[in-house]
Structures are given as C-alpha cells and as structure tokens.
Amino acid sequence: MKFEKWKEKAKTLKREVYTLYLAYKDPRVPWYAKVFSAFVVGYAFSPIDLIPDFIPVLGYLDDLILVPLGVALAIKMIPVNVLAECREKSDEVLQQGKPVNRSAAVIIVILWIAIIAWMVKLGIGYFSER
C-alpha cells in the first residue's frame, strides 16, 4: 500500500512540474517566478543532477528533497488564478500522454554544457595562476 502512496506522490509532483512549465510561459506570472520556475523545471527534467544518482543514498536525496522543495517555493510565487488554469491544462495534456518538448531538452543540455565550460575555465584560470 505504501508503494501506491509514493507512486501517487510522484505522479502529483510530475503534474506540478509540468504546471510550472506552463506557468513559465504565461505573461501574467512575475519575472522572478518565471526565472525560479525555469530553474526548477530544468533541474527536474535534466539528466544531470547536483548529486549523481549512482552515489548510494545521497544520489536520490536531491530528487526527493530539492525538486519538491523547489516546486513548493515556485508555486507560492505564481498567482493563484494562473496556477489553477495551468493545472487544468497540465491535467489535460498529461491525460493524453507524456508531453515531449525537444527544444526544452536542447536548452537544458546547452545550459549544462555552458556551466561545465565555465567551471573548466575557472579551474584552468585558478591552476594557471599557481
């Protein structure tokens, strides 16, 4: 029975992340909520985690804590009426099947490549000064 409860919570979280994605595109959402929502959605859908999943216990800790926490904070920033509309749209889309957005996937991959390149550049600069 507990497995079903966890499964339902995961489904709800998936719906909320997709709701944030839809809210991000809504012009009535404040800019700061859009930026935060974009980070949460990008992190949730990104194949690269802050803590890699292959690390025992800690690997899934970020998925179990960071994503739900980010979703909860982002939801508080979005106007209630916009959030309700986005939840309705999210339910409709998810009932039809899994949404696919290749352009979002490309943007997430490019963002991670840029972050890694920036970190490498910082590392090279740091070690070349020594």
Q: What average pLDDT does the structure give for the chain?
A: 81
What pLDDT sits at residue 77? 94
Calpha distance 19→62 (Å, rounded): 20
Cα–Cα separations (whole angstroms), residue 92 to 15, 18, 32 = 10, 11, 27
Query: Which residue numbers in the chain have pLDDT < 50?
Result: none
Q: What's the whole-model pTM score? A: 0.66
The pLDDT of residue 39 is 84
Please tell me the total count of domains within the chain: 2
One domain, residues 69 and 29:
yes
- Where in the sequence is the domain holding 109, given as residue range(s)? 101-130
Residue 5 has what pLDDT? 79
Q: Look at residue 40 in the predicted model and tell me its pLDDT.
A: 87
Those residues whose C-beta lies under 8 Å from the C-beta of residue 52, and which sit 6 or more positions away, are 59
Residues 64 and 95 in one domain: yes
> Do 17 and 81 have their domain in common?
yes
